[in-house]
Chain A
Amino acid sequence: MIKDFPHRQLDLTLWIYRKLIILFPIEYQTRFEGELVQLILTQMHEMENDPRMLLTRLWVDWMPDLFVSVIRERIIEMENKMKTSKFVLNSAAFVIMFAWLAFVGLTEAKYFLHLPIKEPTYWLLMESFTSLAYISLTGFLLLAPLLVLVITISPYFKVNLGGSSGNLLEIRIHRVTGISLALIMGSGAVTLFIFVVFIGSRIL
Chain B
Amino acid sequence: MNNSQSLKPNFIPLTPAVFHILLALSEGELHGYKIMQTVSRNTDGQFHMGPGTLYGTIKRMGAEGLIEESEERPDPDLDDERRRYYRLTELGKIVVRVESERLERLVRRARELRLMPESKGET
Point out residues on A near B: beta carbons under 8 Å: 24, 28, 31-32, 34-40, 42-43, 61-62, 64-66, 68-70, 72-73, 76, 163-166
Residues in chain B near residue A37, CB distance under 8 A? 82
Residues in chain B near residue A32, CB distance under 8 A? 55, 59
In the assembled complex, how far is the CB of residue B9 from the closest CB belonging to chain A, in whole angstroms?
A: 12
Contact B82 A69 (CB under 8 A): no
Count, chain B residues at interface, CB 8 A: 24
B17 at interface, CB cutoff 8 A? yes
Smallest CB gap from B62: residue in A: A31
Determine the distance from Cα of A106 to Cα of B16 in the docked complex, in whole angstroms.
Answer: 56
Determine the distance from Cα of A61 to Cα of B54 in the docked complex, in whole angstroms.
Answer: 13
* Chain B at the A interface: SS class: helix
Smallest CB gap from B57: residue in A: A164
Among B50, B57, B60, B84, contact of A35 (Cβ-Cβ < 8 Å): B84
B15 at interface, CB cutoff 8 A? yes
Contact B51 A40 (CB under 8 A): yes
Contact B83 A38 (CB under 8 A): yes
Contact A35 B52 (CB under 8 A): no
Contact B33 A68 (CB under 8 A): no
Q: List 19 A-B contacts (CB under 8 A).
A: A24-B52, A28-B56, A32-B55, A35-B31, A38-B80, A39-B33, A42-B33, A62-B50, A62-B52, A65-B49, A66-B52, A68-B53, A70-B52, A163-B50, A164-B15, A164-B53, A164-B57, A165-B17, A166-B16
Determine the distance from Cα of A39 to Cα of B82 in the docked complex, in whole angstroms.
Answer: 10
Residues in chain A near residue B80, CB distance under 8 A? 38
- 18 additional A-B pairs beyond A69-B56, A164-B18, beta carbons within 8 Å, are A28-B55, A31-B59, A32-B55, A35-B31, A35-B82, A36-B51, A39-B51, A43-B33, A61-B48, A65-B50, A66-B50, A68-B50, A72-B53, A76-B60, A163-B50, A164-B17, A164-B56, A164-B57
